[in-house]
Structure 1
């Protein structure tokens, strides 16, 4: 029965012109070109010409890079990127830590006498409590010992702070005798953070003072938060804090375009960094390092951090050399001496203010500086209740600066209320009114003085 069925099927296939699969020839393996045409029938010679142009452009770019000596950090292929897994390329340093967390440790010693720019680094040890109080405008500082100070600077994953920001590099500096020791703790990845914080805390426990640049608002709050997030004790809460950025603003906010550390280095310490990594790019470079393992930029980030620490000590040494010289004569710039007088005034060092301001008046003819010195002197004599000295100061100022109203009004007040010399008060009021004839306050003052004078002249005394 089955045999007859197969014969009938064969006859039917033959009648219909069909061929069995077993009778078909074996197919040949298609070529690459045929495959491309099969998957993309619209592929033409134009496409091949475009791909050749792209490869030609790539080769030209490669030749240009070789001529300029530029080595691209970004891998050119997927295989190249995979050949550099994170933390494989060595960057030096010593591995420290314990358990499951380790970090890299770098250290360097700058022996005495080491000069940074134009200053001797060990002169920072001469920065005493007296200089610290003046530089901080009289803020309450009860202890200042540079021998126990810890200069600190961080490099972070973001320039704006926040809960998710991590300090992947912390640099510290301190003096041992006259030698300056600089240490750095570097995270190769996020799991290195406990080891970094533990090693840093050991140094913090041996210090009594933090010195940084914008550290009061950025570095220390960030570190405090990272210790809290890792459930580790932070012993920096009991340390005093001296922020050099606030000092820089008090001295140079009128002279410099900004008071960033880079600007202060350039115009105050006369230091220009060559080939330095911009601080704004450092977070991105470290994130690229942990993603690709390429450590090309890490030594330059470490160098950037080293220079920041050295600049902190150098700036303290620069200030110590100048603040200790009497009458502010250590400052070469007139504006710096004027800022020094303002700081002395805020600290209440009135005798020093008088000496410095009088000495500056003898050495400068710049009207704005002289006007500020006269004003400060009159204010000091007012606080000391030295009426005669204040009167002479205001008279000299008024005669020297004939177009300034302020000393004339102050003289009018002094004669009217303290010395009760109404005629003299009226005279200086009229002098001020000649400069500002439409000033309503001065007009009212003159009218009041005229009424007082008229009243006293018409006053009849009994026999």
Structure 2
């Protein structure tokens, strides 16, 4: 009875080349390695394929040339997430990474291709680890573990929420590592959204490559097809288009390096790197959240002509608030009066700011009342704003009456 049950289940058991006595050379693994232009790495606990690609200083990614190693921008951590001004990231410690997986997450999802990129000599090197079959996962993960050191700064695109949890879970399951240690993790997805979503709308990596790097992939496979293509290999030993999976992963990693350099360069010299009003507004808001009011004022002054030519009153109003927070009310009032004279959404808020200024700073209650009434004539953006205006009108009328009675 037991023998019959084992017989029925035996056809579901996949043997690794080592267990089956199959030689690595000339095997299905060798065929896959040749398709991927990689090398078989055989260990006592399994076999995987390692693929290495190098990009020298003459390489172009879209219209962007490989950054000069000696002229890289300064990678301040605050350019990528909330961080102290003094924290600077060492590009020598960067490890760009991306995975191709059998699913969208969960304990059963396996990362069958894990790629890493780092600076090498005068260029960039990508090392990819490909899992030819599930029994070899432990060996591949041990090689992956060796890539990540305690001083490593990981760089990914949505890797904090997706890739790292999968890698960490699989390392625990395979008893490779219980606590994956690294110095930091920069997730560029959130950085790109803050800086470019206002202009490019969709921030998936493919669209970012096209809109920001001017890089268009040729014969790329959609990400949703990758798992089924890998399962097809496992079931049939068919290497058809497996090289395209590796190329897809390779392009992802190279793009991460160029995107990171692009973002750092924008922060270092914004007037030289951006020209679109939406990007100007986004970067100004990022700087404003860091409370760099003086820098915002100087930055937006460089784009004053651009803001006016496109009638970007949202940018001009943000500029006026930066003047206010920096204590430069003279320049702030000039912008508020200019915006208040127009029939735009920011006219309401500019009128309110003028009312505040003349009431609390200039002590001119009559003029404050005039700007309050003018703001009221513009449709308030929300009901609570109308309530605040009515309170302000009553208060100003009382102040005017008291001043008149004291004469």
Per the alignment, residue 358 of structure 1 pairs with 301
How far off its partner does 1:359 sit?
1.9
Pair 1:103–1:248, CA change in 2 (3 A): same
How far off its partner does 1:122 sit?
2.8
Pair 1:303–1:314, CA change in 2 (3 A): same
Alignment of 1:148 onto 2:93: yes
Alignment of 1:211 onto 2:211: no
The one of 382, 385, 400 equivalent to 2:327 is 385
Per the alignment, residue 5 of structure 1 pairs with none
Q: Tell me, what secondary structure is at the counterpart of 2:218?
A: coil
Distance 1:206 1:114 in 2: 30
Structure 2 unmatched ranges of 5 or more: 1-26
Distance 1:100 1:223 in 2: 18
The one of 33, 38, 61 equivalent to 1:91 is 33
Distance 2:47 2:30 in 1: 15
How far off its partner does 1:237 sit?
2.6
Distance 2:371 2:211 in 1: 44
**2:78, 2:87 within 8 Å by CA — same for their partners in 1?**
no
How far off its partner does 1:445 sit?
2.3
Distance 1:377 1:265 in 2: 30
Distance 1:244 1:436 in 2: 39
* 1:70-85 pair list within 5 angstroms: none
Pair 1:287–1:368, CA change in 2 (3 A): farther
Q: Tell me, what secondary structure is at the counterpart of 2:176?
A: coil
Q: How many pairs were matched up?
A: 372
Alignment of 1:174 onto 2:118: yes
Distance 1:318 1:410 in 2: 36
Question: For residues 415-438 of structure 1, what are the alpha-carbon distances to aligned partners after superposition, in whole Å with 9 as ceiling and x for unaligned?
Answer: 223332211111111222332499
Q: Tell me, what secondary structure is at the counterpart of 1:188?
A: coil
Structure 1 unmatched ranges of 5 or more: 1-84
Distance 1:95 1:244 in 2: 32
Pair 1:100–1:138, CA change in 2 (3 A): closer
Per the alignment, residue 425 of structure 1 pairs with 368
Q: Tell me, what secondary structure is at the counterpart of 1:162?
A: coil
Pair 1:227–1:187, CA change in 2 (3 A): same
Distance 1:228 1:368 in 2: 56
How far off its partner does 1:378 sit?
2.7
- Please report the TM-score for the alignment, with normalisation by the length of structure 1: 0.74
**1:201, 1:235 within 8 Å by CA — same for their partners in 2?**
no
The one of 261, 273, 278 equivalent to 2:222 is 278
How far off its partner does 1:117 sit?
1.1
Q: Tell me, what secondary structure is at the counterpart of 1:205?
A: coil
Per the alignment, residue 57 of structure 1 pairs with none
**1:210, 1:241 within 8 Å by CA — same for their partners in 2?**
yes
Per the alignment, residue 292 of structure 1 pairs with 236
Q: Tell me, what secondary structure is at the counterpart of 1:215?
A: coil
Q: Tell me, what secondary structure is at the counterpart of 2:341?
A: helix
* 1:214-293 pair list within 5 angstroms: 214-233=158-177, 236-293=180-237
Q: CA RMSD in A?
A: 2.5
* 1:11-410 pair list within 5 angstroms: 87=29, 89-92=31-34, 93-123=38-68, 126-130=72-76, 132-136=77-81, 138=83, 142-158=87-103, 160-205=104-149, 208-233=152-177, 236-325=180-269, 327-365=270-308, 369=312, 371-399=313-341, 404-410=347-353
Pair 1:375–1:303, CA change in 2 (3 A): same
- Please report the TM-score for the alignment, with normalisation by the length of structure 2: 0.84
Distance 1:330 1:217 in 2: 30
Larger Cα Rg: Structure 1 or Structure 2? 1
**1:137, 1:346 within 8 Å by CA — same for their partners in 2?**
no
Question: For residues 140-181 of structure 1, what are the alpha-carbon distances to aligned partners after superposition, in whole Å with 9 as ceiling and x for unaligned?
Answer: 8834111221010000000x2111111000011111232211
How far off its partner does 1:87 sit?
4.6
Pair 1:288–1:221, CA change in 2 (3 A): same
